[in-house]
Amino acid sequence: MPTRAERFAGLSVAMVTPFRDGAIDSKRLKEQVDFQAAAGTTCICPVGTTGESPTLTHEEHERVIAESVEAAAGRMLVMPGTGSNSTAEAVRLTKFAARAGADAALVVGPYYNRPTQEGIYEHFKALAEAVEIPICIYNIPSRTGRNIEPETIIRLAELPGIAMVKEATGSLDQASQVLAATDLTLLSGDDSMTLPLLAIGGRGVISVVGNLVPADMKSLCEAFDSGDLASARELHLKLFSLCRDLLGLASNPIPIKAALAMVGRDTGDVRLPLVPLEAPLAERLRQVITAYGLVPQAV
């Protein structure tokens, strides 16, 4: 049975935000968008966790949304991150994204202030009622300090504006409970969990590794959808070490920015309080990239 937001099924990519001399690098941002369009990516997701949204000013956040929509030029969907621990701020950003032409909004659960489940419900309800574009609930308790419980997501699914869940809890049980009770489109928020989530009814991934090798993650999703489980499993195992290290060597997006630089697609340093990947970890990442078949640039 089709899910609520089937047009977002497949590969979405959580885009990095390119910097040059401390400022947003618009030229490189457009290049990154063009790279995804050429790969046939379904949707780009700028200004999320991978896009370093916590250290962007409000003006920068809006600028990246607007420039991403403009650069995509209808070639793929755009679902920017518009979440905040302030409901009023999340509503403002989500309204801006809608005005800018975004196709949906990726909204992380409120972080730091640790609201109750009722507070989380009211937060997302306010967003769903404020805009007409669909909302994707981004559940990543390792970042926010609060799980959005499956019962809360099931309740939110009663609202027509809530269309998707980016599932980054690592719990197949939680994902199964949501899928069993709703028609929400569930997308993996962890590259290495993509195949397991597809197997229980997930419809794709919002990917970090897709910044680097979108074609392979796209092929995994397509192989599964076509019933070619052997190829999907082969791609999962091929991608696993790369996916593990891009999210495990240091906080995202430190490793993916390092990896992009290594293969000649430098997007600039991360912003403080994040710092570049330490030399021993960078060497391990270089080895993983080489083993994958990518060709690192000379140091």
Q: pLDDT for 6-23, tens place per residue? A: 999 999 999 999 999 999
- Is the pLDDT higher at 296 or at 243? 243
Mean of pLDDT values over 262-266 = 95
Q: Is 138 a catalytic residue?
A: yes
Domain boundary assignment for the chain: 6-226
Of the candidates 166, 238, 257, 292, the residue annotated as catalytic is 166
State the average pLDDT over residues 217-221.
Answer: 98
- Which pLDDT score is estimated for 154? 98
Q: What is the pLDDT of residue 247?
A: 92
* CA dist., res. 118 & res. 18, Å (int): 37
Catalytic residue among 121, 125, 138, 218: 138
CA 257 to CA 202: how far, in whole Å?
27
pLDDT at 299 over 60: no
pLDDT band at 165 (very low <50, low <70, confident <90, very high): very high
**Cis upstream peptide for 280 (omega within 30°):** no
Return the ∠ at Cα 78 (arms to 76 and 80), rounded to 5°: 160
Q: Given this model, what pLDDT does residue 39 score?
A: 98
Class of domain 6-226: alpha beta
